Structure 1
Amino acid sequence: MIYGDDVVDHHWPYDGPHNDDQTTQAAAAISRLVRYLNNATGPGHSDSALPYAAIGYRVISNLTNAVHGLRQLLPQLAEFLERQAADPTLYDDRRGGPNAMPADDTASAAAYSLRSAMRHVSELASDLNLARSHAVHLGNEDPR
């Protein structure tokens, strides 16, 4: 059996190291795990991936925790982009193209979009909390 906590702690220990490769790969892992869950809970797989209500609760609960973490992550990424906007080495690769913007404006626009996403994260977190608070009460009778 693979335990997600062990995999994460092995590859991405909380206290680091924190570097560009580790950060990028952690985000890639999140994307791949969501893809895995999409497939596992889809048609043809959901009976084995979600055999009991308690498993659904555990999945919802972990997703709720992940979304709550975005409340910290998104503003930190916005702050990073705001610092990048002040970096004289920053450039926008659309130089001279029809959609070109000064790099500081591009970084600022990305930061603004992340901050804007926070209202959606808060709403999603609230809805997931509600789903979790209902799902925790569900169980299945032993068919024997």
Structure 2
Amino acid sequence: MFVNIFGTLLLLGFFSIQLSNSLECYSCNSPQSCRSPGKTTCSNSTANATIAHLQQNFVGNFNNQTSRDYKCISQNYTSLYSNITYKGCVYNRVEVCNLSPKNTALKRQKCVQCSSKLCNPAGTFSSSVLTVFVSLFVVTVYKVLNL
């Protein structure tokens, strides 16, 4: 019986370690797809897809940047004739927001690199709605308590 309990706890420990190392990020690669981005769990495959995007659009050396740790990214670069919008996973060693675009006319509008679940937001509308609802709740509670 002790062996069964120990084995079960050991198995749960392995699953907990795997779950704690997985990072979920929003994912999209164009202004159109970023209007309603998908969600992805970071892996070598998703980080390598981001490296391919970075190699195509930014100046930098991306060799030997792999690791077992990841970060979420959100980029938005614009110019009069071009736009780069991208969300996804990247190896934590790659400093995405320090890269320069190959197209020098592009200007950074937004660049976020973060390491918590879904920290590269899909848009500002949802956070604005949340702010409004929290504000309304606080005002309602304040008025109720002051009656």
Fold shared, TM-score > 0.5 on shorter chain:
no
- Larger strand share, 1 or 2: 2
Higher RCO (Cα < 8 Å, 6 or more apart): 1
Hey, which of these two has a bigger chunk of helix by percent? 1
Q: TM-score, normalised by structure 1?
A: 0.22
TM-score (norm 2): 0.22
